[in-house]
Structure 1
């Protein structure tokens, strides 16, 4: 995450960091522009974020070297790394906006001087992180005159350099643990040429280019497929998203990042597996069990869609959508089991607090009837909402994507109407049972029919739609 630094919204920034921490993201960063009076100090903000999180690593993206003396920067980063148990990294930048830096009593350097200063700063920082005696380093911009090293970081803190011009890129190749460009200044089509400069400089310095980790600051316009392409073709190994809302964080953590990993893993595995294996999810089969002799529809007349094609192209987001459909269906199945359990307990009288006192038993039964009623009503509404979303959003897009699915989608919509009628019947039986406990038998019959129709429908829908959902683009 690349979080907003504005002073008037730190509460929201902290919440975003905590959301990233809970959702399993790895890095939280804040830009560093100390001359901007509307921004909070970066190291102070990172310290509070680190204290309020457990898992994420924090770092400046990137530290403004001209206003951050490297000796103090080394001690600050090492201190926070010790305090957090090894959750700090260091992004370094040579500087920009020189007039603003000079206004804060910082140096006004030429491009050549800024590169020199950055190289000296990296030496200062690494020396202070290395055990030893009094250190003496003489540089044009930074020196150490007998300073003692320490404190020492809890882990090997990476130094990632924000760089764009050839001279800076060569410095990354010689000295950096990683490269940290931003997409607005280094668009995807320029990465190959920049990487080549870094790789060549690394080889000339006796380093392996593979040892330099490439990260990339991005906005939310990149798709999972584009990001996976940057991993496979440009060697990018991490993406840092500029965010402004919880929705940005959740979408990136729960949809985009898993999809990128899946695409990359699949590509690296080699030749494509059969279509059914590449879906990565198995539709829930219908085991054929039926609880009622009543048949609201003829299952033998259900149409089927086209068979999966061996060369079908499945997107990670499409596969994720199929998994999401099955997850929703599994939730409905679990809720249906709860409804059935409530009805059975009421019918059996097993929810009574005790059999010894009939009044307590009666009161408990009334409460159980009320609880069951509220639960059934809520469940019926949940099923209806799910089916309405499918009819109005999912099905039309699938129909446009593959007209061969038309008969299947028509049949699924017809079954939604039938299930709606069955739900209405459950409601009516419920009301009657609350007024007359002997009507519990009618309620059980209605729930049996609901079970048969709903479970059969969910399996049919998964069997027919999970595959096309993986290959037809879907937009919420």
Structure 2
């Protein structure tokens, strides 16, 4: 099984040097992806897609992920052009993270007409479908949907990147099952959480109803935590949330997540939600990721 390891970045304008240094370090060290959020109403923030493109141009192997794209501010036809262009320029090193839009009061402040929660999810699912139509070549696309309309638009001659969603509610989870490739549980929920236990069956049922194998939708976790030189007495708090531990404790926990719970990948964040420091990032790439990969490969070979 191919297990993905990435990290979340801080991307304020003032921290641009740290961000780029972290991505370049992760690229050298063999991590799979870097992740950044998309909040265009925050003036101190670098634009997520501009930053991903710039960082991909300075690296050779690592993929970029906007976790997740603020779709209401990036209309699907134009987002299709952005992601297929980045995929072409980076030779496929892009993951399309998709969300329906969360902070609608701030989104509306940008001049975007607010949608009801149900309509936002409908637009989210339709947007994913349209982006795929506008990728991969073929005849011109005319799409007359409820939220998006295009007429005789030529698809890009580039495959659409894999789509991971940040779905939380039942309707959005069902959309993930029908049209997405991956799912990132919200609020940094992990494989032992109630959120995961109650949400994943909704995805699986929707996938099966759409004629898909539910295993096609892989689960990737945003995972805050410390990587310490010495083992911790407790790796989870009283409510069961992961705190971290030594590289060996991380490797044991994540190997179990893959083998026992079907996890497909992990994005490391600092405990405060920002970018891991260089020492932590180095331990993640050089100690935790290889140990998990080796353990999973050994189990698969049995």
What residue is the counterpart of 1:213 in the other structure?
Answer: 218
Give secondary structure in 2 for the equivalent of 1:164: coil
What residue is the counterpart of 2:65 in the other structure?
Answer: 59
TM-align CA RMSD: 1.7
1:136–1:144 contact (8 Å) kept in structure 2 = yes
CA shift, 1:233, in A, is 2.5
Give secondary structure in 1 for the equivalent of 2:188: coil
- After superposition, what is the alpha-carbon deviation per residue over 1:296-319, rounded to whole angstroms, capped at 9, x for unaligned? xxxxxxxxxxxxxxxxxxxxxxxx
TM-score by length of 2: 0.84
From the superposition, tell whether residues 93 and 14 of structure 1 become closer, same or farther in structure 2 (CA, over 3 Å): same
TM-score by length of 1: 0.54
What residue is the counterpart of 2:265 in the other structure?
Answer: 238
1:179–1:215 contact (8 Å) kept in structure 2 = yes
From the superposition, tell whether residues 127 and 81 of structure 1 become closer, same or farther in structure 2 (CA, over 3 Å): same
**Residue 260 (1) aligns with residue 292 (2):** yes
What residue is the counterpart of 1:165 in the other structure?
Answer: 169
2:39–2:45 contact (8 Å) kept in structure 1 = yes
What residue is the counterpart of 2:144 in the other structure?
Answer: 138
| Structure 1 unpaired stretches of 5+ | 271-476
What residue is the counterpart of 1:46 in the other structure?
Answer: 52
Q: Specify which of 10, 14, 19 is matched with residue 8 of structure 1.
A: 14
CA shift, 1:204, in A, is 1.0
Structure richer in strand, relative to its length: 2
CA shift, 1:156, in A, is 5.0
- After superposition, what is the alpha-carbon deviation per residue over 1:190-219, rounded to whole angstroms, capped at 9, x for unaligned? 323322211111111110112112111111
CA shift, 1:268, in A, is 4.4
1:25-424 to 2 correspondence within 5 Å? 25-150=31-156, 152-153=157-158, 155-182=159-186, 184-185=188-189, 188-190=192-194, 191-220=196-225, 221-222=243-244, 223-242=250-269, 243-268=275-300
Give the Cα–Cα distance (whole angstroms) in 1 for the partners of residues 199 and 260 of structure 2.
13
1:23–1:254 contact (8 Å) kept in structure 2 = yes
Give the Cα–Cα distance (whole angstroms) in 2 for the partners of residues 100 and 59 of structure 1.
22
Query: Higher Cα Rg: structure 1 or 2?
Result: 1
How many pairs were matched up?
Answer: 268
Give the Cα–Cα distance (whole angstroms) in 1 for the partners of residues 91 and 185 of structure 2.
27
2:70–2:101 contact (8 Å) kept in structure 1 = yes
- After superposition, what is the alpha-carbon deviation per residue over 1:405-455, rounded to whole angstroms, capped at 9, x for unaligned? xxxxxxxxxxxxxxxxxxxxxxxxxxxxxxxxxxxxxxxxxxxxxxxxxxx
Could you say which structure has the greater relative contact order, defined with CA pairs below 8 angstroms and 6 or more residues apart? 2
- After superposition, what is the alpha-carbon deviation per residue over 1:213-256, rounded to whole angstroms, capped at 9, x for unaligned? 21111112342222222212221111111233111210110111
Give the Cα–Cα distance (whole angstroms) in 1 for the partners of residues 138 and 58 of structure 2.
34
- After superposition, what is the alpha-carbon deviation per residue over 1:43-82, rounded to whole angstroms, capped at 9, x for unaligned? 1101110011011011211110000111111101111111
Give the Cα–Cα distance (whole angstroms) in 2 for the partners of residues 34 and 19 of structure 1.
26
CA shift, 1:266, in A, is 4.2
